[in-house]
A and B are shown apart, each in its own frame.
Chain A
Amino acid sequence: MRFLLFFFIIAISSQTIASEGLFEIKSAQTHLEHDRYFLDANINYELSEESIRALQNGIALTIVFQIEIIKERWYLWNEKVANFTHHSILRFHPLSNHYVVSYIEKDKSYAFTNLAELLTNLGILREIPLLEKSQISNEHSYQVRLNTYLDIEALPPSLRTVAYFSKEWRMFSDPFNCPLS
Chain B
Amino acid sequence: MLRKYLRVGLTLLLFVTLLTSFVMLADVLEDSSRFEHLYSTLLIVSSSGLFIIGFLIISNLYQLIQQIRKKRPAALLTARLTILFIGVSITPVLIVFYFSLGFINQRLENWFDTQIEQSLSSALQLSRAALDSNLRDTLNKTRKMAAQLSSLEDELIASELNVQRQQNGVSELLVFAPSRGEIVAVSSDDTGKLLPKRPEKNLKFRHREDQVSLQPLTENGLFVQAIVRYQATTRPDPTERYLVAWFAISPEISSLATNVEQRTNSYQRLAYLRTSLKSSFSLVLSLIMLLTVLSAIWAAFVAARQLVRPIRNLVEGTKAVAAGDYDKQLPISHLDELGFLVESFNQMTRKIREARNVAHRSQHRADAQLTYLEMVLARMSSGVLSLDSELCLRMSNGAAEHILGVSLAALKGKPLLESCANYPPLQTLCEGVETHLKAESTDWTEQLTFFGTGGRKMLLCRGAKLPDLDGQGIGHLIVFDDITQLLQAQREAAWSEVARRLAHEIKNPLTPIRLSAERLRHKYLADFSEKDAQTFERMTHTIIQQVDAMKEMVDAFSDYARVPQIVIKPLILDKLVNEVLDLYPSKIIERHLKYVQIEADAGRLRQVLHNILKNALEANSIDPHIIVSITTHKENQSHCVELKIQDNGHGVSEDVLGRIFEPYVTTKTKGTGLGLAIVKKIIEEHGGIIWMENNPDGGANVIIKLPACA
Contact = CB atoms under 8 A, between A and B. Distances in A.
A54 B36 CA distance: 19
6 contacts: A9-B40, A95-B214, A95-B261, A112-B202, A157-B28, A159-B273
Given A59-B272, A94-B268, A162 B213 contact: no
Interface string B95-128: 0000000000000000000000000000010011
Contact of A161 (B128, B215, B283): B283
Contacts of B281: 158
Interface string A140-181: 000000000000010011111110100000000000000000
Contacts of A111: 200, 202, 215-217
A10 to B, nearest CB: 12
B129 to A, nearest CB: 11
B40 A160 contact: yes
A5 B48 CA distance: 14
Contacts of B29: 157-158
Nearest to B38: A1
Contacts of B213: 96, 98, 113
A39 interface: no
B131 interface: yes
Contact of B43 (A1, A93, A161): A161
B640 interface: no
A9 to B, nearest CB: 8
A90 to B, nearest CB: 13
B634 interface: no
Interface string B638-679: 000000000000000000000000000000000000000000
Interface residues of A, number: 31
A75 to B, nearest CB: 36
A158 B279 contact: yes
Contacts of B41: 1, 5
Nearest to B206: A117
A160 B35 CA distance: 14
B646 to A, nearest CB: 111
A95 B275 CA distance: 25
Shortest beta-carbon contacts, A-B, top 4: A58-B269, A57-B272, A157-B39, A96-B214
A94 B260 CA distance: 10
B268 A57 contact: yes
A67 interface: no
Given A94-B265, A95-B128, A156 B201 contact: no
Nearest to A2: B37
A156 B261 CA distance: 20
A49 to B, nearest CB: 13
A2 B257 CA distance: 37
B171 interface: no
Contacts of B268: 57-58, 94
A121 interface: yes
Nearest to B272: A57
B280 interface: yes
A169 B460 CA distance: 122
Contacts of B276: 156, 158-159, 161-162
Contacts of B272: 53-54, 57-59
Nearest to A93: B216
A95 B279 CA distance: 30
B271 interface: yes
B124 A96 contact: no
Contacts of A159: 273, 276
A1 B45 CA distance: 13
Contact of A94 (B40, B131, B261): B261
Interface string A81-104: 000000000000111101010000
A7 interface: no
Interface residues of B, number: 41
Contacts of B485: none
B280 to A, nearest CB: 4
Interface string A26-60: 00000000000000000000000000011001110
Given A58-B266, A95-B261, A157-B29, A100 B280 contact: no
B264 interface: yes
Nearest to A157: B39
Contact of A95 (B217, B257, B269): B257
Contacts of A9: 40
A162 B279 contact: yes
Interface string B173-216: 00000000000000000000000000011100000000001111
Contacts of B202: 110-112, 117, 121
Nearest to A118: B202
A58 B270 CA distance: 9
A162 B275 CA distance: 10
B260 to A, nearest CB: 7
A109 interface: yes
Contact of B277 (A54, A57, A100, A158): A158
B84 interface: no
B52 interface: no
Contacts of A121: 201-202
A158 B269 CA distance: 12
Given A57-B271, A121-B202, A158-B29, A94 B264 contact: yes
Nearest to A5: B40
Contacts of A58: 265-266, 268-269, 272
A69 B40 CA distance: 29
A157 B36 contact: yes
Most buried by B among A54, A58, A156, A158: A158
B44 interface: yes
Contacts of B214: 95-96, 98
B538 to A, nearest CB: 156
Nearest to A6: B40
Given A58-B265, A121-B202, A161-B280, A96 B215 contact: yes
Given A57-B268, A157-B36, A158-B273, 10 more contacts: A57-B272, A95-B222, A98-B213, A98-B215, A110-B217, A111-B217, A112-B202, A113-B213, A158-B277, A158-B279
B124 A94 contact: yes
A121 B283 CA distance: 39
Interface in B237-260: 257-258, 260
